Amino acid sequence: MPRLKIFVLGTRGFPNVQGGVEKHCEELFPRLVKLGCDVTVVTRTPYIPKEKRVSEWKRVKFIHLWCPKQKSIEAIIHTFLGVVVARIKSPDILHIHAIGPSILTPLANLLGLRVVMTNHGPDYQRQKWGKFAKIILKTGEFLGVKFADEVIIISKAIKGFLENKYSRKDLKFIPNGVNLAEIILAGNILKKYNLEPKKYIFTACRFVPEKGLHDLISAYQKISHPEFKLVIAGDADHETAYSRNIKKSAKESPGIILTGFISGKPLQELYSNAGLFVLPSYYEGLPIALLEAMSYGLPVLVSDIPQNREIPLPKFRFFEPGDVDLLSKKMVELFKLGIDEEESIKEREILKEKYNWSKIAKQTFQVYKNALNLN
């Protein structure tokens, strides 16, 4: 079979660009190249500095395409321009990620393109969006599910929700994945932030309301004389009153450290040496950060939301989202408790079996063949 030409829209770009969709694409598409695809990813230039704009990475090709850096319109404008470029390039498959960009699925159909859409979750539930943006996102969800040739869903809970909502029964569940971690001994990053191994709680996410960082900071502030620091890796894509307030609150709180967005070895070092990972989200698709924490053998504490519950963790590792008092109490308890070897081994086996990127790539390749009637 000749190599399939795949054209990708809906991601800001990669490698080392903040975001769950970006991490998903960074792991998935190099593996699809190895399976027999020629992949071209269209990036958004505001997120890829000029000095980092390469034409190819791990045999994935890039087209760096302009868009305005404005959260309410950038995805739609970029996707529209990308669909036009896709028509010129004539790929076998146009793969659109996320529901906002999926609003252009009917246009892609009209231009004769076969579309595979990956739904990373109902983004209109995110608190950062206003009423008009939520209408656009709901429209993108509807048009993507109704008009894409094949639809991939990363969460079983979201899959069931969409099947009931749109009466489409051929949706494909393919989760996010994770690589089994390489443990990095304490080094320059811990020295930089004056941290000791296993003496800090860690989280990594974007600074948006639905991630619950305000709850995490408030919970930490309630602890009298904490025996651990709180390290938060990440930043805002678009600076807002919320993100500015998070930074202000953190700077005013002794023991809280903000690293900004980091990736690669520095991020691995922080994961490797943490004493507890906390994810206090109100909304997730399927959280790669949680999977990564588990891959490092970390004890975790996560909000009790449907997407987090899909990952088989003991009940005591969940707390009710928004319950700051309980979060504060459980941070202290689970930091002291840690994780036993049996639980850690069990979690790594779950990751290898259910969240294996190589398996995920093979499943995605099969979806491409379904879309092209190549079975």
Q: Is the pLDDT of residue 128 over 80?
A: no
Question: 3-state SS of the chain: helix, strand, coil percent to 5?
Answer: 45, 15, 35
Q: Which residues pair with 9 in a beta bridge?
A: 96
pLDDT of residue 368: 98
Strands of 93-97's sheet in order across: 56-57, 60-65, 37-44, 4-9, 93-97, 115-119, 150-153, 172-173
Q: Is 334 helix (H, G, I), strand (E, B) or coil?
A: helix
**For the chain, which residues make up each domain, given as ranges?**
4-177+356-371, 188-353
| pLDDT-based confidence at residue 138 (cuts at 50, 70, 90) | very high
More confident residue, 276 or 122: 276
pLDDT of residue 339: 92
Q: Is the pLDDT of residue 1 over 80?
A: no
| pLDDT-based confidence at residue 162 (cuts at 50, 70, 90) | very high
| pLDDT-based confidence at residue 115 (cuts at 50, 70, 90) | very high
Q: What is the DSSP string of 209-272?
A: GGG-HHHHHHHHHTSSS-SSEEEEE---SS--HHHHHHHHHHHTSTTEEEEES--HHHHHHHHH
- Choose the weakest-confidence range: 76-85, 166-175, 190-199, 282-291: 282-291
Rounded to an integer, the average pLDDT of 22-35 is 97
Q: What is the DSSP string of 283-320?
A: --SS-HHHHHHHHTT--EEEE--HHHHTS---GGGEE-
Strand 56-57 with 37-44, pairing: unpaired
More confident residue, 284 or 95: 95
pLDDT of residue 238: 84
State both tokens at 127. 């608190």
Instruction: Judge contact between 106 and 114, C-beta under 8 A.
Output: no
Report the percentage of the chain scoring pLDDT > 90. 88
Topology at the third CATH level for domain 4-177+356-371? Rossmann fold (3.40.50)
Would the CATH topology of 4-177+356-371 be identical to that of 188-353?
Answer: yes
| pLDDT-based confidence at residue 133 (cuts at 50, 70, 90) | confident
Instruction: Judge contact between 372 and 114, C-beta under 8 A.
Output: yes
Q: What is the pLDDT of residues 214-234, one digit of tens each?
A: 999 999 999 999 999 999 999
pLDDT averaged over every residue in the chain: 95
More confident residue, 6 or 129: 6
pLDDT of residue 69: 87
Rounded to an integer, the average pLDDT of 79-86 is 98
Rounded to an integer, the average pLDDT of 124-133 is 82
Q: What is the DSSP string of 76-123?
A: HHHHHHHHHHHHHH--SEEEEESTTGGGGHHHHHHTT--EEEEE---G
| pLDDT-based confidence at residue 160 (cuts at 50, 70, 90) | very high
Q: What is the DSSP string of 62-76?
A: EEEE-----TTTHHH
Q: Is the pLDDT of residue 375 over 90?
A: no
Report the percentage of the chain scoring pLDDT > 70. 100
Q: Which residues pair with 270 in a beta bridge?
A: none
State both tokens at 166. 């749109």
Rounded to an integer, the average pLDDT of 257-286 is 95
Spelled out in words, what is the top-level CATH class assigned to the domain 188-353?
alpha beta
Q: Is the pLDDT of residue 126 over 90?
A: no
Instruction: Judge contact between 83 and 113, C-beta under 8 A.
Output: yes
User: How many other β-carbons are positioned within 10 Å of the β-carbon of residue 344?
Assistant: 16
